[in-house]
Structure 1
Amino acid sequence: MSKLIFSLVGKTCKLKTDEALLLSGGTELTCQIVDVDDEWVQFTYTDKKAGQKTRLLRIDTIESIEIIEE
């Protein structure tokens, strides 16, 4: 799966994961993919209170990815 996600580096996507509950309060998180390796995805997103944040997420916790920007 990481090879597919690697092709999304630099794109704006919507990640669906239970981990997003901790970050945004919902199961979907709109973000920009910054970097990917075999186990982790690095992404940036805008937090309502703190502004732009950068986080890491394990690939195996991602349920689906929707590409918003080509």
Structure 2
Amino acid sequence: MVSLLVAMPAIALCMFNAFSAEHEHPPEFVPYEHLRIRTKRFPWGDGNKSLFHNPHVNALPDGYEEH
């Protein structure tokens, strides 16, 4: 009964939160020196993007990609 009365509504609320927050804009880019340090290029693509790069969420060392 607990899984039906507590867990299922909690999962539904979490799913609603995830899908409603999906369309938000990324935060403003601040070029902190200790983030996005590249000591060598990645062995795929242009060498600057990680393997699971998402242009809407992940910033490059110069900032977010323009659309």
Q: TM-score per shorter chain, which class?
A: under 0.3
When you count strand as a share of all residues, which structure comes out higher? 1
When you count helix as a share of all residues, which structure comes out higher? 2
> Which of 1 and 2 has higher RCO (CA within 8 Å, sep 6+)?
1
Point out the structure with max Rg over C-alpha: 2
TM-score (norm 2): 0.19
